[in-house]
Amino acid sequence: MRSGWKSTVFLLLLMLPAAGLCVTLEQLSLEEMIEASTYIVRGRVGPTLGVSGATMLYTEYELQVTEVLSGDPGGMRLRLALPGGRLGGREQVFSGVPVPIRGKEYVFFLWRGRSGMLQLVGMTQGLLEVRRAAGLATAERAPSDGMVLNRRSGLPVHDQGMRVSLARLRTSVAAARERRGGPR
Amino acid sequence: MRWNRATRFPAAAGCAETADCRGIPRSVSRGGRWQMMGWCAALLGVVLASIPLSAYYPFLHWRVEDGQLVAMPERFDLRELPGRAVPVVVSRAAALGLAEGDSWEAVQSQLRLALRLWSQVPNSSLRLLDAGEVAPDLGTQAPHIQVVFDELPPGVIGMAGPVAVGQRRRDDAGSFLPIAKSMVILNGAIEERPSYSEAFFLTLMHELGHAVGLQHTFTSSVMSTGVTRSTTKASPLAVDDHAGTAFLYPGKDAASDTGVIRGRVTIEGEPLHFAPVTALMPSGAAVSTLTLPDGSYEIRGLPSGRFYVYAQAAPSSSQAGLGPGQIVLPRDEAGEFIAPGPTFGTRFFPAAPDWKGAFMVEVQPGTQIANIDIDVPRQAESVFRGVTTYSFPGGFAVNPAIVRASETDRFLVAYAPNLTDGERVMEGLEVESIGASVGPGDVYPYPWAPEFLQVNIRLNPFSATGPKSLVWKRGSDLYVQPAAFLLVGQRPPELSEVTTEASEDGERIRIDGTELGAVGSYLVDGLAVPAATAVDSGDANRVTAFAAPFSNDGRPAAVVALAKDGQSSLYLGAKPPFAATRTASAGDVRIHPSSLPVGVEAMLTLEADAPVFAGNSVNVSFGHPGIAVNHLWKVSAHRVVLSVAISGNADLGSYPVTFWNDLAKLSPGAALTLTPPVHSPFANGWRLMDVATDHPTLYPGSVARVQFPDGWVPPGAFSEITILLGDVALPAVCVGPQTCEFSVPGETSFGVKPLAIAGDDASGLPVAVEIAEPPPYIVQASGFSRSLPVGLLDGILARFSMVVELPEVVSATEAARGLKVRVSGQSAPNVQATPSEEGGNRWRITFDLRLPRAAVRDGHFRLRAEWLGRPSPEVLVRETTP
């Protein structure tokens, strides 16, 4: 073991100057996530479409949508932008920003702001992995161990992660739509 | 930072390796054990300055140089920054969502407060400078931090860190990657987190910490990941924040004023990577780090005292590429992240599973304690994924928990997953407190919310107020929570009535309330006002008053009282009272000179036709990170003098001056134009200081030194060099290839004056220099010392007696507040001054100080007194032994 770590240590080299950034999140309930989303879709992550940005880098991922739970995204192939990435000689790594894995199926809580980019609501909170077991499909994510604050008190809180069945998620989204008075 | 394989494993005996140290019988009393530990520490006290390692909290990069592993942090290169300060600019990229009574001006005042606090970290040279408001798409080569309020996705409060770093550089502290730009992006929707709130301010402090290069920590500091953070708006930075900042940006006295613990963490004998290691004082102050891939660690910046040292696993990250606490992992040559070591059980130095069986390590300023090695066992991930504590001093929860010593039912409420099942406490759970007590039956589900835990706190005779730690145990699973709660002596300050009233000196803010005697300062928005004495007003209330700050329109501003013990009036009312401010004058302002070349330091004067500088706090900026206002002297309400530094890579152009008169923001239209650099040997780079005190403030009759930079044209190239001090030409005598000296005439009047250097046909721009009263003088001093007995490190205990003459007549309170002493570079804490029997402005000071042997050089101590930041000439005192 010792020789192992030594060989590892001495193989270390300076990589591209990778800048690290940290994200502070506000804890959102499922209902708040639904309310805040422009679109909620289920689908798979396609290829990375590129990295752009002058100061802050954003990596764009193709989303291959298989189900639209809320909103009208206007197509079944979307572009999701997430902070971070590698461009030229620069790399930015964000803690608190998830890295979707190509080919995996997720539920995406998407938000489109003034910039026009589609981003995740609550970053790690807005990406739930779809899992199927014993005939039950769930959307879930692990607790975040980063900085998460309560929305109203501003106090730091324990993020509990999330696990919800797709059926209950559809029901919750439909109920929210109804509360808002019709399809969105 | 350099890790030298050849010298990494010194042959010095360590406690962890010797039977004598391990074999301390359990019957030894605590004091006896401390003494034994001190004896062990004496063996371990090895100064290893040649192999500095790194704390992991910076963003680190790795490189192999000459067979040595070099860890390089990202940090600003202060040498290239104007005025050696990091410029911070602020932008609005989207409209703000503000709470009632909040404003953009109030937000900016909180930012200035945060910059000031990060600039006052002990033993650090970091200074953050308000460089003004800029467009969001600022493009410049001048290094800086940009704070942007923007539209972010819902659920995202902010993100921060360096976004551009340069190629490797080296300075006295080692190799590093210079930050070219850091961003702090905050969600502009702050209706739920108004600018006056604890949440807004602590988030701002946290994100600025990332921007200067700090990552997350595990020690209840402002840089903690959240659940264990225990800093407050009244006391926003913890010792760990100080240590991390001083590591990246060490002050000149950092090495002599603080200590170092280093060692190695192994898991069943093998090196353990990325293990959190913490040095914890019984008082609750803690500093931590992470081990390097070889298991080594180093904790710098420790204050004097005794520490438990323990290694404790942190929850692994759910995100690829990140370690515990979402700290960015280092990478190997293939670009792959180097994974943290396996999870393990907590162990205290040297091998104790519990703090009660631990040895304490004694740290003295200027010493480095090596070989504090800990071997930990493999163990499944802890059930304790961090614990958050709350209390309810008002009608709502605050964090960290505040426990009042005088209360009969002292308790806090804690939360972590699985502490209770809603009815019963987790089976086998035990809670202890370091510094207080938790008895049997003191832990049970909180009746009002049984998913939380109520923990009753008992006091013992040694329970002093301050932060206290908790230890959570379940079987072999142990979790230490530094500064888990704050033990206080009184309730938070309560502001029952805040009014703005007329007085002879203009409007003032009058405050009625309770516990005002414990208030250290008041905030009016983000403007800090020192607390004046509060007097009885009946019914247990006190009353105090201070001049109402200026604002643009007399708008009401939030008033918050910050207590010295870390509490604030926000603990009793989340929405503070508001008080009307004074409407500031507006007027035309002239700037002289109106243009300066880049790459110089120079004096600027702003003159107004109205009292636009009437406030107690005046800040000037130019909206460009390449222009730094190093110093501002307020001459009158109509006139201020600035010392500005212009970066060599500042962008040419015209930059309008903006200034803050308290909370009033004024942009009068005057501008400073930056022109191409000039090539004069006297234009920039030289330093001016008083010969006797090494301080830039001069006084009538003093001798001043001009120190020219490396590569400067030698004085022999000029037939004569003249100093122009105001209108007076003074001959300079060059005493070395880069050093000239001149005498300040005894009749020179006090005040800020322009000073320029000329030689033959060349001359430089005038800089601002302050002519003030003479500095303090040590008129008599003696020092007796004796070697400390074995067990108290390799040091000496010295008693000093000195008489200091101050430049002015002051009260005993003022003397105690403003007089400081340093011995051989190390500050003497708690200096008490009494009027000297000789009378006048002379004060006698006697104090004891433990010093490392290296503090005596050629048989002498070096003593310097300091009055309000101005040092005295250094005095050598011969060491005398009884």
Q: What is the CATH number of domain B388-488?
A: 2.60.40
Q: What is the CATH number of domain B5-51+258-376?
A: 2.60.40.1120
Q: Which residues of B touch A26 (CB under 8 A)?
A: 154-157
Q: CB distance A147–B200 less than 8 Å? A: no
Cα separation, B866 vs B694, in Å, equals 12
Q: Tokens at residue B531, please?
A: 């607390």
Q: Give me the CATH number covering residue A169.
A: 2.40.50.120
Class of domain B777-880: mainly beta
| Residue A4 belongs to a domain | no
| Residue A8 belongs to a domain | no
Give the single-character DSSP code of B555: -
Across the beta sheet with B578-580, the strand order is: B527-530, B519-524, B556-563, B578-580
When pLDDT is cut at 50, 70 and 90, the band that residue B226 belongs to is low
Q: Which residues of A touch B293 (CB under 8 A)?
A: 5, 8-9, 12
3-state secondary structure chain A: CHHHHHHHHHCCCCCCCEEEEEEEEECCCHHHHHHHCCEEEEEEEEEEEEEECCCCCEEEEEEEEEEEEECCCCCCEEEEEEECEEECCEEEEEECCCCCCCCCEEEEEEEECCCCCEEECCHHHHEEEEEEECCEEEEEECCCCCEEECCCCCCECCCCCEEEEHHHHHHHHHHHHHHHCCCC
When pLDDT is cut at 50, 70 and 90, the band that residue B334 belongs to is low
| Residue A5 belongs to a domain | no
Under 8 Å between Cβ of A101 and B132: no
Q: Tell me if chain B has a CB within 8 Å of the CB of A157.
A: yes
B569-618, pLDDT tens digit by residue?
999 988 999 999 999 999 999 999 999 999 999 999 999 999 999 999 99
Q: CB distance A6–B331 less than 8 Å? A: no
Class of domain B589-675: mainly beta
Q: CA of A121 to nearest chain B CA: how many angstroms apart?
A: 5
Q: CB distance A113–B153 less than 8 Å? A: yes
Q: CB distance A21–B163 less than 8 Å? A: yes
Residue B19 confidence (pLDDT) above 60: no
B382 or B726: whose pLDDT is higher? B726
Q: Which residues of B touch A127 (CB under 8 A)?
A: none
- Give me the phi and psi of B588, to 5 degrees please: -80, 145
Residue B215 confidence (pLDDT) above 80: yes
Partner residue facing B155 (CB), from A25, A55, A94: A25
Q: How far apart are the first and last CA of chain B?
A: 42
Q: Do B589-675 and B5-51+258-376 have the same topology in CATH?
A: yes
Q: CB distance A17–B61 less than 8 Å? A: yes
| Residue A118 belongs to a domain | yes
Q: Tell me if chain B has a CB within 8 Å of the CB of A143.
A: yes
The radius of gyration of chain B from alpha carbons, rounded to an integer in Å, stands at 28
Would you state the pLDDT for residue B715? Answer: 64
Would you state the pLDDT for residue B311? Answer: 97
Q: Which residues of B touch A125 (CB under 8 A)?
A: 155
Would you state the pLDDT for residue A96? Answer: 82
Residue B39 confidence (pLDDT) above 60: no
Residues 456-495 of B with CB under 8 A from A: none
Q: Domain of residue A51: give its range.
A: 16-179
Q: CB distance B293–A9 less than 8 Å? A: yes
Q: CB distance B181–A11 less than 8 Å? A: no
Maximum mean pLDDT: which of B11-15, B172-176, B229-233, B524-528 = B524-528
Identify the three-state secondary structure at position B17: helix
Q: CB distance A98–B416 less than 8 Å? A: no
Cα separation, B586 vs B659, in Å, equals 11
Identify the three-state secondary structure at position B655: strand
Q: How many separate domains does chain A show?
A: 1
CATH number for B687-771: choose from 3.40.190.10, 3.40.50.150, 3.50.50.60, 2.60.40.10. 2.60.40.10
Under 8 Å between Cβ of B438 and B450: no
Residues 6+ apart with CB under 8 A from B733: B740, B741, B742
Residue B471 confidence (pLDDT) above 90: yes
Q: CB distance A113–B160 less than 8 Å? A: no
Q: CB distance A26–B156 less than 8 Å? A: yes
A142 or B39: whose pLDDT is higher? A142
**B146-168 mean pLDDT:** 93
B349-396, pLDDT tens digit by residue?
999 999 999 999 998 888 889 999 999 999 988 888 788 899 988 878
Cα separation, A16 vs A33, in Å, equals 36
When pLDDT is cut at 50, 70 and 90, the band that residue A92 belongs to is confident
Would you state the pLDDT for residue B332? Answer: 64
Cα separation, B24 vs B274, in Å, equals 30
Q: Which residues of A touch B325 (CB under 8 A)?
A: 145-146
Residue of B96, B319, B388, B420 to mutate, testing the A interface (most A Cβ within 10 Å of its Cβ): B319
Host H or E run for residue B34: helix B30-44
Would you state the pLDDT for residue B198? Answer: 92
B429-462, pLDDT tens digit by residue?
999 999 888 988 999 999 988 889 999 999 887 7
Q: CA of A86 to nearest chain B CA: how many angstroms apart?
A: 12
| Residue A24 belongs to a domain | yes
Q: What is the CATH number of domain B71-248?
A: 3.40.390.10
Q: CA of B747 to nearest chain A CA: how many angstroms apart?
A: 55
Q: Tell me if chain B has a CB within 8 Å of the CB of A137.
A: no
3-state secondary structure B561-579: EEECCCCEHHHCCCCCCEE
When pLDDT is cut at 50, 70 and 90, the band that residue B537 belongs to is confident
Q: Which residues of A touch B390 (CB under 8 A)?
A: 155
Burial A73-86 (b: 16+ CB within 10 A, else e): beeeebebbbbbbe
Residue B128 confidence (pLDDT) above 70: yes
When pLDDT is cut at 50, 70 and 90, the band that residue B788 belongs to is low
Residues 23-82 of A with CB under 8 A from B: 23-28, 32-33, 36, 54-57
**Average pLDDT, whole number, for chain A?**
84
Residue B45 confidence (pLDDT) above 60: no
Q: Tokens at residue B415, please?
A: 């939360």
Nearest CA in chain A to B229: A156
Query: Angle CA(B755)–CA(B758)–CA(B762) in degrees, nearest 5?
Result: 135
Under 8 Å between Cβ of B494 and B572: yes
Torsion of CA A78, A84, A86, A88, to 10 degrees: 100
Across the beta sheet with B703-707, the strand order is: B687-690, B703-707, B739-743, B733-736
Question: In sequence order, what are the beta bridge partners of B3?
Answer: B69
Residue A8 confidence (pLDDT) above 50: no
Domain boundaries in chain B?
5-51+258-376, 71-248, 388-488, 494-582, 589-675, 687-771, 777-880
Count of other CB atoms within 10 angstroms of residue B31: 8
Q: Tokens at residue A127, please?
A: 């990406």
A47 or B814: whose pLDDT is higher? A47
Would you state the pLDDT for residue B191? Answer: 92
Residue B25 confidence (pLDDT) above 50: no
Identify the three-state secondary structure at position B806: coil
Partner residue facing A22 (CB), from B159, B321, B399: B159
Residues 108-147 of B with CB under 8 A from A: 137, 139
Residue A14 confidence (pLDDT) above 70: no
| Residue A6 belongs to a domain | no
| Residue A9 belongs to a domain | no
**ipTM entry:** 0.88
Nearest CA in chain B to A84: B163
Please state which of the ranges A136-145, B331-340, B758-767 shows the lowest mean pLDDT: B331-340
